[in-house]
Amino acid sequence: MGVLDANIEEARERMYALYGENHQITDGNYDKSLAVRCINGTFVGKKTDEKVIAFKGIPFVGKQPVGDLRHWQAL
């Protein structure tokens, strides 16, 4: 395992520790008001307070936003 692979694995372990792992919903038992559908599945958020729903640990489908793909534009 190279240094880059070790760094990626370490980052993955930290993410799992912070956010947990995504699990497939198999029984349909979830709060539909907290769910969003993406091209890579349906994700259910968690309310962090009255006005915020957090969606954490959602995997990228295509290229990860690095380099030129990672930019922001002021509105």
Please indicate, yes or no, if residue 9 is contained in any of the structural domains: no
Rg of the Cα atoms in the chain = 16
pTM over cut 0.85: no
In a domain, 31, yes or no: yes
In a domain, 64, yes or no: no
Q: Which residue has the tokens 């640990």?
A: 57
Domain range for 50 is: 25-57
Inside any domain, residue 15 = no
pLDDT band at 59 (very low <50, low <70, confident <90, very high): confident
- Percent helix / strand / coil, the chain, rounded to 5: 30, 15, 55
User: How far is Cα 17 from Cα 14, in angstroms, rounded to an integer?
Assistant: 5
In a domain? residue 73: no
In a domain, 66, yes or no: no
Domain count of the fold of the chain? 1
pLDDT, the chain, mean: 78
State how far the Cα of 49 lies from the Cα of 35, in Å rounded to an integer.
16
